[in-house]
Structure 1
Amino acid sequence: YKNLLVQKEVTPRFVELGTPEEVRSEPDVEFRVGQGVNKQREQSKVFKLTSTQDKRQVKLIIAAAYRQIFERDIDPYVVKSEFSSLESKLGNDEINLKEFIEGLGCSKLYVKEFYAPYPNTKVIELGTKHFLGRAPRNQVEIRKYNQILATLGIKGFINAMVNSAEYIEMFGEDTVPYRRFPTLPAANFPNTERLYNQLTKQNDDLVIPSFEPVAIADRS
């Protein structure tokens, strides 16, 4: 027995590095988990139309749609002159919410505020923000949508987004698009956060400046 060596148990290095030096309280743990996560990543409310019989809910959903697509509330006189027919169709089950969203994107007001003043690259950034809840993924997506804009115009661009597999998966036919911070891959999150933090009317800089701007063509 004298010659029997007792081997000392060695704790693996990765275990040592992963062991905290002090006992942490629950609030401290929660703080560390939340580090670097902006409050904007937390989607506070998803607006989903479950029944057009509840007119109060329909009104709330429509207001949420205006805020998402136009980045503001819409004045009643504008609604009356441009969107009363669209609202009526939604309330009467003649169209679903997805079709209502598409109608807003194809409206004269959207064209005036988010299409006519900007080059195609900025139009694409704003479009993915409004209808997909994120910034453009990459240059490939920019090129794809630029080609659609060049050949089919703004209505073709809006149609392509709201009828995409991504839109259907995320929002279906009954949910207002929303900023998708919690579900975005890490590579897309910073650009989306910056795009949402930008005030569109005061700043028309490109969120992804590495993408060459496409000049405004004759859109008449």
Structure 2
Amino acid sequence: MALPLLKYAPTTQNSRVKAFRVGSDEDPKAVALDKVLSRDDQNFVIESAYRQLFFHAFKVDRDHTLECQLRDGQITVRDFIRSLALSDTFVRSFYNLNNNYRLSRHLVEKLLGRPVYSQAEEIAWSAVIMTKGLKGAVDAILDSDEYLENFGYDTVPYHRNRVVGSRALGETPFNITTPRYDAYYRGIFGFPQIVYTGAGKAFPVRATQRRGGNPEDYLPWVRSLPALRNAGNAASSASIDYLSKVPYRSIGR
């Protein structure tokens, strides 16, 4: 028997009202399919959807059938988002590598465009994942009033309300605050890894020039010594009869 969605409430009054602010570069950018006029605009909508769900989509992660259906108007953006959230890439990269609490945080951030209100909301959506599975949780979020009021059927979900009035900068993006892999898997994979992307230091030409006193300069002279020239003709130590070389001494003499 599936449990109903548990009740949870926003942690502050500010979460219940819409933000009132002057537009800036930190404001979220809505991408809607009903406003596109060219194929390039359609590609931008598709790329925005991939970036929202996967942060970066490789060639193997793309579904060209879904893309064609979206361009032809056979499915809506919400259907496209639903298919990406239930795709094999999302299952392998998020569902299989995280527990239900962390997965619920991923779904709320990526599909509703906001962080979870509290641990109570994580528990509520974790119960949905536990009873209905990933598909049931995705359907419940996409069919919720909050999703339909903010994104509707043709708008790609985005990070809402990044600007906070008392801060100079907005909130950190979800893909940084909530990375794909949990701390346990990051430790297995050896993350974080320091990757140096700067230019390598080039040594001057004079540093590669050989100066006097280098032992390698005397190697040809050492090889030309007589002792080393005749070393190959010397008998091997394994063929020497050491017992015959020891002088005989009888007892009593």
Same fold? TM cut 0.5: yes
Match of 2:131 in 1: 151
CA contact (8 A) 1:171 1:177 kept: yes
Output the amino acid matched with 2:53.
I
Q: For each residue in 1:13-47, what CA deviation from the matched residue of structure 2 results, as whole angstroms up to 9, or x when unmatched?
A: xxxxxxxxxxxxxxxxxxxxx9xxxx88x225221
Match of 2:120 in 1: 140
| Deviation at residue 58 of structure 1 after TM alignment | 1.1
Match of 1:164 in 2: 144
| Deviation at residue 142 of structure 1 after TM alignment | 1.7
| Deviation at residue 129 of structure 1 after TM alignment | 1.0
Identity of aligned residues (%): 27
Output the amino acid matched with 2:100.
N
Matched, 1:75 2:58: yes
Please give the secondary structure, in 2, of the residue aligned with 1:50.
helix
CA contact (8 A) 1:105 1:158 kept: yes
Q: 2:34 aligns with which of 50, 55, 73?
A: 50
Match of 1:88 in 2: 68
| Aligned counterparts, 1:15-30, within 5 A | none
Q: Go from structure 1 to structure 2 and tell me whether the alpha carbon gap of 1:184 and 1:145 turns closer, same or farther (over 3 Å shift).
A: farther
| Deviation at residue 91 of structure 1 after TM alignment | 1.2
Ranges in structure 1 where 5+ consecutive residues have no aligned partner:
1-33, 206-220
Match of 1:127 in 2: 107
Output the amino acid matched with 1:116.
N
Q: Distance in 1 between matches of 2:117 and 2:178?
A: 20
Q: For each residue in 1:34-82, what CA deviation from the matched residue of structure 2 results, as whole angstroms up to 9, or x when unmatched?
A: 9xxxx88x2252211125763221111000000011112x122432xxx
Q: For each residue in 1:170-197, what CA deviation from the matched residue of structure 2 results, as whole angstroms up to 9, or x when unmatched?
A: 11111111111258899xxx9x747453
Q: 2:85 aligns with which of 105, 115, 125?
A: 105
Whose radius of gyration is greater, 1 or 2? 2
Q: Go from structure 1 to structure 2 and tell me whether the alpha carbon gap of 1:84 and 1:52 turns closer, same or farther (over 3 Å shift).
A: farther
Q: Distance in 2 between matches of 1:58 and 1:162?
A: 21
Q: TM-score, normalising length from structure 2?
A: 0.56
Q: For each residue in 1:64-117, what CA deviation from the matched residue of structure 2 results, as whole angstroms up to 9, or x when unmatched?
A: 000011112x122432xxx11111111111110011111100111001111111
Aligned length: 159
Match of 1:197 in 2: 176
